Amino acid sequence: PHPVRLADYRPPEFLIERVDLTFELDEQVTTVHALLEFSRNPAATRGDGSLTLDGEQLELIELKLAGQTLTPAEYQLEAEALRIHRVPDRFQLETQVRIHPNRNTALEGLYQSGPMLCTQCEAEGFRKITFFLDRPDVLSRFRTTLIADQDRFPVLLANGNLVSETRLPAGRHQVIWDDPFPKPCYLFALIGGDLSVVEDQFRTCSGRDIGLRIFVEPHNLDRCGHAMQALKKAMRWDEERFGREYDLDLYMIVAVSHFNMGAMENKGLNVFNDKFVLASPDTATDEDFQGIESVIAHEYFHNWTGNRITCRDWFQLSLKEGFTVYRDQEFSAEVGSRDVQRIADARFLRNHQFPEDAGPMAHPVRPDSYIEINNFYTPTVYNKGAELVRMQACLLGPELFRRATDRYFERHDGQAVTTDDFVRCIEEVSGRDLAQFRRWYAQAGTPYLDIEADHDATRHLYRLRIRQWTPPTPGQPVKEPLHLPFALGLLDDQGRECPVRLEGDVQDQPAGTRVLELRELETEICVLGLRTRPVPSMLRGFSAPVKLRYAFTNADLIHLMRYDRDGFCRWDAAQRLQERLLLRLTQDPTTLIPDDVVAAFRDALRDPATDPALIAELLTFPSESYLADQLDVVDVDGIHRAHRQLASHLGTHLNDDLMAAYAHNQDPAPTEVTPRAIGRRRLKNRALALLMAVDGAKVFNLCQTQFETADNMTDTLAALRLLVDHGGAAGDAPLQRFYERWSQVPLVIDKWFSVQASSCREGTVERVRGLMAHPDFSLRNPNRVRSLIGALCHANSVQFHAADGSGYRLLSDVVLELDPLNPQIAARLLKPILSWRRYDAGRQAQMRRELARVLETGELSADVYEVASKALD
Ligand code: B3K
Ligand code: ZN
């Protein structure tokens, strides 16, 4: 497999103005007839007069140019391309191909999911449907005719507006769809199936009525309400916050059970992993409800950031993904709690993006080469990409930023553009020069800010010295300094905000946050008028995606945790306290846990003014994998032991307060999913987890009672996890009951698998192997694979990294079996062993051996090859 490079980008030599597709749908053999209108692209340089189309796994039945069948001498058919030796400047091309949806286990192109047929074309799946210029800078108007058996496929959907429905002889019917908006082929979609529909309406800001439809298999009809509410909220929010109105008369969502990712923003016809549509309080956790709200919003927001304005090439993926994640994060912040959302964003970045930056697959937000684009749908492109948009919004402030996005939408509507085009709009509207800021898009790696402070009590001066640097990443040994917003607050010894007054200020500064801008390798910030030494509250709101290092004292952190008005900084202070303690405990289990730290957590628990959701965040430790990243050589068992030790120390010393928090937050409305109710359940279940870290019959009974009586999945699952972690019979009986109760609901059975696979109890790897033979397990369903294999490898450090290497062996066995079926999922699973260099010699050798074993296999997909080979480089 060869890398594709950004530097090699050339505009397409031909454009396709119109696409007229006719599908005769059938699970075994579908025929696809395509009528394509080509014209030479005036913006491109002339080639040799030939045309090359992308096409994979297609059986060519017919090929006509301008109505004439081409002879084999006039074209060449290769494994992944169709070359026509001579074409005029304008012409019509007609092709007919056969494809096999039921054999498509990669779930890319047209495939079968249970009783239905569906498509997934991003990034390069359309070429598995028909011969085409499968690249995002070719925008065409699509008309789609679907023909199928009326009984098996009564519902036939495609992008755009419904044109007609006709009965045909022999029990078949035909439905025609037309999409008036030119689009790249990756946004094409079709669905065929026996589906039920939930309908609703939305009146747009200009008074147009939009039909909203969610299609699901009939037995899921009663679990679509939350998704529909979320859709309407998102539509309103995008009008108000970004001035974006929906453009078609119909918005359709279809839930399918086999899906590689979360969902897909196809024009007017989103296809969703059913996990992000279906929910009722008895089957879905609060996290599921929140996931649905944000994914529904995310896909809806793509209609403007992705569909109306799309990417020029796949290196620009963050243009749509980074911006759209920023938009969905802002949406979630505004419909829920901004602090809690920002903490979740920061935690995700630290747990997933920072490690990516530190590993062998590190890449810039705008990568400059890839072997398989599917490997670049990453936390870097999505979440760090969102941070880049957020930093620019912060530098401009809300009004200017809105003007910049307005300009972007206006100027580039209907175009395929680059991240640079986006930044240019920001520059023009603000009159700023973002040349240095652009480095963020091109430079990989997580920057460090190393900070020192001193206070001059006689001159009332407080000085911060900030040094920024970024460690090297593969292919980028030398890094340049970045331009970033540094939001700073200062607290006095009473916890009050001080004004951040700098030399040369003309105006009086109000007390509170001040956003400074860093550009240099070293910056000195000199704050005037501070009689006593303040406690710095830095990077408020997580103003830049960096690692900040500063020698906080415990007292500083306790002070910030108690008084800071910035939710992120309060949480960050708690994280730092916990991290410090946990790392010390990892090295030395006899480390004393200071009373003042315990008292700070007690105060947080007792604080009536703080949102329970935020209290729960303050009491949630940095993850074991995050702690692992802080060590030169990961001590898997030491970290796990430290986690338990700190939990049981808090469980013991805060027993009464945790019990009180538990009792107080026994929800009066247990099936309500408001932010308030969700926050209270989180706090209650976090309290229960800390209490369960101490052996004791009383709390054990509490947990068991919760499991037996809860009428919402959040509480049920929280209790089940704890009972299973407890080990032995305590967990076996509840697991059995849970299975029996939910055996007919696949999304809940996913949870049953995942609770077992993510348990820290001994023998988990073996149990997972056993579960792979369970009749409900299947490598063909990505949700199942993630719930069992993914949970063990990505969410269970201590068992996955078992010293005997059994976790690694299991992973490589699965990857080898899965790769021929579904390379995307196989490549994703490999992530946790890519950072093998960070472990002790024994584990290193085992991980390397498994990676080598994978690489040695003859017929690897490009997906797995790229990841495994880069890891061993
Ligand atoms: N754009 C899709 C992701 C497609 C993944 C292709 N491997 C979902 C999203 O980000 O909204
Ligand atoms: Zn997206």
SS3 assignment, position 257: coil
Question: What percent of the chain stands above pLDDT 90?
Answer: 97
Pairing state between β 161-168 and 155-158: unpaired
Tell how far the Cα of 295 is from the centroid of ligand 2, in angstroms.
8
* Domain identity same for 27 and 162: yes
Distance of CA 866 to the CA centre of its chain: 21
Tell how far the Cα of 202 is from the centroid of ligand 2, in angstroms.
23
* Domain identity same for 417 and 454: no
Q: Could you give the residue numbers annotated as active site?
A: 299
**Strand partners of residue 468:** 449
* Domain identity same for 57 and 182: yes
Report the 3 state secondary structure along 822-833: CHHHHHHHCHHH
What's the total number of domains in the chain?
6
Burial 151-180 (b: 16+ CB within 10 A, else e): ebbebbbbbbeeeeeeeeeeebbbbbbbbe
- For residue 460, the enclosing domain spans 450-552
- Token pair, residue 162, equals 């419904």
Distance CA 537, CA 799 (A): 37
pLDDT of 670 strictly over 80: no
Pocket test for ligand 1, best of 134, 183, 264, 276 (most atoms within 8 A of CB): 264
Tell how far the Cα of 258 is from the centroid of ligand 1, in angstroms.
14
CA distances from 186 to 319, 540, 592, 818, 861 (A): 15, 39, 57, 25, 21
* Residue of the CA atom closest to atom 7 of ligand 1: 374
Domain's final residue, options 663, 694, 725: 694
Judge whether 62 lies within some domain: yes
Q: Which atom of ligand 1 is nearest to the CA of 260?
A: 7
Q: Which atom of ligand 1 is nearest to the CA of 374?
A: 7
Ligand nearest to the CA of 264: 1
Distance CA 191, CA 114 (A): 12
* Domain identity same for 396 and 458: no
Number of Cβ within a 10 Å radius of residue 565? 15
Judge whether 428 lies within some domain: yes
Distance CA 637, CA 134 (A): 48
Please tell me what DSSP assigns to residue 602: H
* Domain identity same for 253 and 326: no
SS3 assignment, position 209: strand
pTM over the 0.90 mark = yes
Distance CA 487, CA 491 (A): 14
Q: Which atom of ligand 1 is nearest to the CA of 299?
A: 11
Tell how far the Cα of 186 is from the centroid of ligand 2, in angstroms.
13
* Domain identity same for 764 and 833: yes
pLDDT of 418 strictly over 80: yes
Query: Helices H, strands E: what count in the chain?
Result: 31, 33
* Residue of the CA atom closest to atom 3 of ligand 1: 264
* Residue of the CA atom closest to atom 1 of ligand 1: 264
* Residue of the CA atom closest to atom 4 of ligand 1: 122
Tell how far the Cα of 264 is from the centroid of ligand 1, in angstroms.
5
Distance CA 860, CA 691 (A): 48
Judge whether 4 lies within some domain: no
Amino acid at 211: G
* Domain identity same for 804 and 838: yes
Judge whether 575 lies within some domain: yes
Distance CA 203, CA 693 (A): 52
Asked if residues 735 and 753 have their Cβ atoms less than 8 Å apart, the reply is: no
CATH of the domain at 620: 1.25.50.10
Amino acid at 660: A
* Domain identity same for 37 and 176: yes
pLDDT of 266 strictly over 90: yes
Which residue is associated with the tokens 């290193």? 844
Q: Which segments of 635-758 does DSSP mark as H helices, in order?
A: 636-653, 655-664, 675-692, 697-709, 713-726, 729-742, 746-757
Ligand 1 is surrounded, with C-beta below 6 A, by 122-123, 261, 263-265, 298-299, 302, 321, 374, 377
Put residue 400 in one of left, alpha, beta given phi > 0 → left and psi -120 to 50 → alpha.
alpha
Asked if residues 319 and 425 have their Cβ atoms less than 8 Å apart, the reply is: no
Tell me the pLDDT band of 695, cut-offs 50, 70 and 90. Answer: confident
**Strand partners of residue 448:** 469, 547
Judge whether 585 lies within some domain: yes
Distance CA 10, CA 6 (A): 9
Q: Which atom of ligand 1 is nearest to the CA of 298?
A: 11
pLDDT at 573: 98
For the chain, the average pLDDT equals 98
Question: What percent of the chain stands above pLDDT 70?
Answer: 100
Tell me the pLDDT band of 671, cut-offs 50, 70 and 90. Answer: confident
Q: Taking each helix axis from N to C terminus, what angle separates 862-872 and 841-856, rounded to the nearest 10 degrees?
A: 150
Domain's final residue, options 635, 667, 694: 694
Pocket test for ligand 1, best of 321, 324, 326, 329 (most atoms within 8 A of CB): 321
Report the candidate in 851, 838, 352, 845 with the shortest Cα–Cα distance to residue 636: 838
Tell how far the Cα of 663 is from the centroid of ligand 1, in angstroms.
42
DSSP labels, 109-164: EEEEETTEEEEE-TTTTGGGTS-B--STT--EEEEEEEEEETTT--EEEESSEEEE
* Domain identity same for 381 and 473: no
* Domain identity same for 537 and 558: no
pLDDT at 728: 81
* Domain identity same for 682 and 564: yes
Pocket test for ligand 1, best of 323, 377, 383, 824 (most atoms within 8 A of CB): 377
CATH of the domain at 516: 2.60.40.1840
Distance of CA 570 to the CA centre of its chain: 25
* Domain identity same for 34 and 160: yes
Asked if residues 651 and 662 have their Cβ atoms less than 8 Å apart, the reply is: no
Longest dimension (CA), the chain: 95
pLDDT of 91 strictly over 90: yes
Q: Which atom of ligand 1 is nearest to the CA of 321?
A: 10
pLDDT of 507 strictly over 90: no
Ligand nearest to the CA of 271: 1
* Residue of the CA atom closest to atom 10 of ligand 1: 321
Report the candidate in 96, 83, 77, 87 with the shortest Cα–Cα distance to residue 34: 96
Tell me the pLDDT band of 858, cut-offs 50, 70 and 90. Answer: confident
Tell how far the Cα of 298 is from the centroid of ligand 2, in angstroms.
6
* Residue of the CA atom closest to atom 2 of ligand 1: 264
* Residue of the CA atom closest to atom 8 of ligand 1: 264
Ligand nearest to the CA of 123: 1
* Residue of the CA atom closest to atom 5 of ligand 1: 122
Tell how far the Cα of 113 is from the centroid of ligand 1, in angstroms.
18
- Token pair, residue 244, equals 């974006």
Which ipTM was obtained for this model? 0.99
Asked if residues 362 and 445 have their Cβ atoms less than 8 Å apart, the reply is: yes
Asked if residues 593 and 646 have their Cβ atoms less than 8 Å apart, the reply is: yes
Judge whether 720 lies within some domain: no
Judge whether 6 lies within some domain: no
Domain's final residue, options 422, 442, 462: 442
Judge whether 710 lies within some domain: no
Tell me the pLDDT band of 237, cut-offs 50, 70 and 90. Answer: very high
**Strand partners of residue 266:** none
Please tell me what DSSP assigns to residue 566: -
Distance CA 561, CA 553 (A): 12
Q: Which atom of ligand 1 is nearest to the CA of 265?
A: 11
Lowest mean pLDDT, pick from 398-407, 467-476, 667-676: 667-676
